Amino acid sequence: MIKGVFTALVTPFNKDGSIDIGAYKALIHIQIEQGIDGLVPVGTTGESPTLEPEEKELLIKVAAEVASGKVPVIAGTGCNVTKHAVEATKRAKDLGADMTLQVTPYYNKPSAEGLYRHFTTIAEEAGLPIVLYNVPGRSAVNMPTPLLLRLAQHPGIVAVKEASGNMCQIQDLLHVRPSEFSVLSGDDSLTLPMMICGAEGIISVASNMFPKEMVEMTHAMLDKNMEKALSVYNHLYPFFVNQFIEANPVPVKTYMANKGLLNEVFRLPLCELRPENRKILLSTFD
Instruction: Please tell me the distance from the alpha carbon of residue 102 to that of residue 115, in angstroms, as a whole number.
Output: 11
CATH, residue 159:
3.20.20.70
Average pLDDT over residues 160-179: 96
Q: Does 51 map to a domain?
A: yes
Compute the residue count for the chain: 286
Whole-number pLDDT of residue 1: 84
pLDDT in tens, 194-217: 999 999 999 999 999 999 999 999
The domain total for the chain is 1
- Name the maximum alpha-carbon separation found in the chain: 50
Q: Does 248 map to a domain?
A: no
- DSSP result, 125-187: HH-S-EEEEE-HHHHS----HHHHHHHHTSTTEEEEEE-S--HHHHHHHHHHS-TT-EEEESS
Q: Does 158 map to a domain?
A: yes
User: Going edge to edge, which strands form the sheet with 99-103?
Assistant: 38-40, 4-8, 201-204, 182-185, 157-162, 130-134, 99-103, 74-76
161, 233, 253, 255: the active-site residue? 161
Q: Does 276 map to a domain?
A: no
Q: Does 68 map to a domain?
A: yes
pLDDT in tens, 70-82: 999 999 999 999 9
Q: Does 18 map to a domain?
A: yes
Stated pTM of the model? 0.96
Identify whether 133 is a catalytic site residue. yes
- The DSSP bridge partners found for residue 103 are 133
Identify whether 161 is a catalytic site residue. yes
Q: Examine the pLDDT at 126 and tell me if it is beyond 80.
A: yes
Whole-number pLDDT of residue 147: 98
24, 133, 233, 255: the active-site residue? 133
pLDDT in tens, 241-276: 999 999 999 999 999 999 999 999 999 999 999 999
Q: Does 137 map to a domain?
A: yes
- Which residues span the domain enclosing 53? 4-225
Q: Does 237 map to a domain?
A: no
